[in-house]
Amino acid sequence: MTVQSGELRSAPRTAAPPSQVLLNPGPVNVDERVREVLRHPDVCHREPEAADLMRNVRAKATAICGGGAEHTSVLFAGSGTAALEAVISSVIPADGKLLVLHNGHYAERVSRIAAVHGIAQQRLEFGWTQPFDLDRVDAALAADPGITHVGMVHHETSTGMLNPLSEVGRLVARHGRSLLVDAISSLGAEELDVVADHVDWCVGTANKCLEGLPGASFACAPRALLEQLSTVPPRTFYLDLHGHYASQEHVDAPLFTPAVQALYALDRALDLSLEETVSRRSARYAGLSMLLREHLVRHGLEPLLTPEHSASSVTVFRLPEDIDYTHLHDRLKEAGFVIYGCPPPLGRVCRIATMGNLSEAQVRRFLDAFDQVVAALRATASQH
Ligand SMILES: Cc1ncc(COP(=O)(O)O)c(C=O)c1O
């Protein structure tokens, strides 16, 4: 006898979604060479083929962060926040303190993770859309020797702001503190070098500018610092960074079941990322962003940031009074394009990303669809 709840009996089979051009800031459209690895045969995560896979992904993740022989990466099954929470909850000791450089939604997340784990922190708030004031960072570090770690988001994806990693890295190193970076939406498309930029803890994820599939994330750090964590009591069981490191590094096996298929996809995506190089990927994304920017400005959409502060992969636009975000989103979705909203403090805006396996032809088709949708929305509005 098969047992089914009433709910299950009435649930239709989930249909495959139509093919869509994703202009949200990850997950992204992926190269077919990444998608095709999902057809690999099933594997057991405690067999040598899974160990090879994890070793390869760790080495390539470290390479994309600019790490040398003294660095390694620790893999997590989970989205970027999993690796971020593993780092924040694991590396700041009970008597430590985190200085959070805050100018948007994802810096707020860093701060909230620290708060959940009862970690002492100071928030240095610059205001959403505002660049860091390095003099204030300098002064805060000079004023409080109790600050052991500094946390920052490299690309603040909520506003599209690229924060000045190298400058902060130099400052933090000069003060002898440890720098922790959320590079979740920058790795692969923005210059970042954990050695030159003095980054101790660098967090990345598969499904943004590395152009992999969701489900895998990682933290890159010097092996010596990871070893030192053995003396720090973990604040969480599942996200204990040292536990994952020790298992992956010394036992050559995952601590818990990894997202094996997402790791195969990440392995292939990292090959493609390393082959394209960060500078060429960054130029590809930025070229598409510029195309969007020039076109949308002509329709009265105002970019939130000037190009000098903008990351290559995300542009936020203020919407004119006569364009409603939900209508815009829904009509564009019908045409096959997914755009993204923004967290509330930014008001009437929309976010358009150019990350992923996206061609100029697709962006030009999007702009045609945009013109038609906006003309239709304006025509409807003028009839009321
Ligand atoms: C800078 C940054 N940090 C953290 C996250 C959270 O990542 P995830 O949704 O993969 O957990 C995002 C997602 O957009 C992000 O852009």
Indicate which CATH number applies to the domain containing 221.
Answer: 3.40.640.10
Best CA proximity match to 149, nearest among 126, 181, 104: 181
What's the distance, CA 189 to chain centroid? 11
Best CA proximity match to 225, nearest among 183, 166, 179, 192: 179
Compute the distance from residue 224 Cα to the ligand 1 centre, in Å.
27
Is the dihedral angle over the CA atoms 63, 66, 69, 70 positive or is it negative?
negative
Q: Which of 257, 275, 293 is the last residue of a domain?
A: 275
Task: Say if 326 falls within a structural domain.
Answer: yes
Pocket mutation for ligand 1, best pick of 24, 186, 205 (most atoms within 8 Å of C-beta): 205
Q: Given the CA of residue 156, which atom of ligand 1 is nearest to it?
A: 1
For the record, the structure tokens of 87 come out as 């780092």
For the entire predicted model, the pTM comes to 0.96
Q: Which of 254, 275, 296 is the last residue of a domain?
A: 275
For residue 124, which phi and psi values (nearest 5 degrees)? -105, 100
Is residue 314 located within the same domain as residue 184? no
User: Hey, is 164 helix, strand or coil?
Assistant: coil
Compute the distance from residue 161 Cα to the ligand 1 centre, in Å.
14
Pocket mutation for ligand 1, best pick of 184, 202, 209, 355 (most atoms within 8 Å of C-beta): 184
* Per-residue model confidence (pLDDT) at position 145: 98
CB 242 within 8 A of CB 229: yes
Compute the distance from residue 154 Cα to the ligand 1 centre, in Å.
11
The protein residue whose alpha carbon is closest to atom 7 in ligand 1 is 80
CATH code of 287's domain: 3.90.1150.10
Task: Say if 131 falls within a structural domain.
Answer: yes
Domain of 110?
Answer: 32-275
Task: Say if 20 falls within a structural domain.
Answer: no
* Per-residue model confidence (pLDDT) at position 319: 93
How close are the terminal C-alpha atoms of the chain, in Å? 59
Is residue 198 located within the same domain as residue 231? yes
Is residue 125 located within the same domain as residue 201? yes
For residue 376, which phi and psi values (nearest 5 degrees)? -65, -40
Is residue 189 located within the same domain as residue 283? no
Is residue 288 located within the same domain as residue 159? no
Q: Given the CA of residue 183, which atom of ligand 1 is nearest to it?
A: 1
Q: Given the CA of residue 26, which atom of ligand 1 is nearest to it?
A: 14
Is residue 195 located within the same domain as residue 92? yes
Compute the distance from residue 158 Cα to the ligand 1 centre, in Å.
9
Is residue 262 located within the same domain as residue 310? no
Pocket mutation for ligand 1, best pick of 185, 192, 211, 316 (most atoms within 8 Å of C-beta): 185
Is residue 97 located within the same domain as residue 239? yes
Q: Which of 275, 300, 332 is the last residue of a domain?
A: 275
Is residue 60 located within the same domain as residue 159? yes
Is residue 138 located within the same domain as residue 283? no
Is residue 50 located within the same domain as residue 94? yes
Q: Given the CA of residue 154, which atom of ligand 1 is nearest to it?
A: 1
- Verify cis geometry, omega within 30 degrees of 0, for the bond prior to 254: no
Is residue 244 located within the same domain as residue 314? no
Residues with CB under 6 A from ligand 1: 25-26, 79-81, 106, 109, 153, 157, 182, 184-185, 205
Compute the distance from residue 377 Cα to the ligand 1 centre, in Å.
32
Task: Say if 138 falls within a structural domain.
Answer: yes
Q: Given the CA of residue 214, which atom of ligand 1 is nearest to it?
A: 10
Q: How many domains does the chain have?
A: 2
Compute the distance from residue 21 Cα to the ligand 1 centre, in Å.
20
Q: Given the CA of residue 217, which atom of ligand 1 is nearest to it?
A: 10
| Sequential pLDDT tens for the chain (384 residues) | 456 677 777 888 899 988 999 999 999 999 999 999 999 999 999 999 999 999 999 999 999 999 999 999 999 999 999 999 999 999 999 999 999 999 999 999 999 999 999 999 999 999 999 999 999 999 999 999 999 999 999 999 999 999 999 999 999 999 999 999 999 999 999 999 999 999 999 999 999 999 999 999 999 999 999 999 999 999 999 999 999 999 999 999 999 999 999 999 999 999 999 999 999 999 999 999 999 999 999 988 999 999 999 999 999 999 998 899 999 999 999 999 999 998 888 889 999 999 999 999 999 999 999 999 999 998 888 887
* Per-residue model confidence (pLDDT) at position 2: 59
What element of type H or E holds 14? none
Task: Say if 10 falls within a structural domain.
Answer: no
Task: Say if 357 falls within a structural domain.
Answer: yes
For the record, the structure tokens of 193 come out as 């070098």
